[in-house]
Amino acid sequence: MAVIKHTSKEVDLLARLMRAEAEGEGIQGMLMVGNVGVNRVKSDCLDFKKARTLTQMIYQRPGGFEATIKGYFYQRARESEKRLARRAIKGERIDPASYALWFFRPTGACPVSWYNQYNTGRYKSHCFFKPTIKDCPNVYSTFA
């Protein structure tokens, strides 16, 4: 069962985003991007109060994803990426992205915090950051 509402078009959008942001980081890296996207839709907090759907979240400005601006987002999603997107939408979580709302690729080490959000770890090139439970309790609610 899905943890957020979605359409088949939104599965495709999320799959394209996952591919564009983390194709070089493999299945696990792409799933982590999916975690961040699902968390943003589910969160209803901070920068993501108006991101109530996957479509809104993916195209959000400011605070959206670099891939939608730079063009590599516009490659078609393959079936393998659509399967990964469905796994993320069903609530499959992978640390360090389980509760993350942000990630970025630093030139060096991951900072301890980023815009007052705490580092949860690094996977290959990307550092992940989660909000506090006080700021975003919905991110920490059980996926059922």
Q: What is the spatial distance between Cα 85 and Cα 30, in angstroms, rounded to a whole number?
A: 9
Instruction: Write out pLDDT tens, residues 17-64.
Output: 999 999 999 999 999 999 999 999 999 999 999 999 999 999 998 778
Burial class of residue 20 (count of CB atoms within 10 Å of its CB; 0-12, 13-18, 19+): buried
Output the six-digit token pair for 121: 């770890």
Asked if residues 96 and 122 have their Cβ atoms less than 8 Å apart, the reply is yes
Strands (E), 46-106: 102-104
Instruction: Write out pLDDT tens, residues 102-115.
Output: 999 999 999 999 88
Residues comprising the chain, all counted: 144
Indicate whether this model's pTM tops 0.85.
yes
Give the residue among 85, 96, 101 at the shortest CA–CA distance from 42: 101
What domains lie within the chain, and their CATH numbers? 8-140 (1.10.10.2520)
Asked if residues 93 and 66 have their Cβ atoms less than 8 Å apart, the reply is no
Asked if residues 124 and 54 have their Cβ atoms less than 8 Å apart, the reply is no
Instruction: Write out pLDDT tens, residues 71-111.
Output: 788 889 999 999 999 999 999 999 999 999 999 999 999 99
Q: What is the spatial distance between Cα 43 and Cα 85, in angstroms, rounded to a whole number?
A: 18
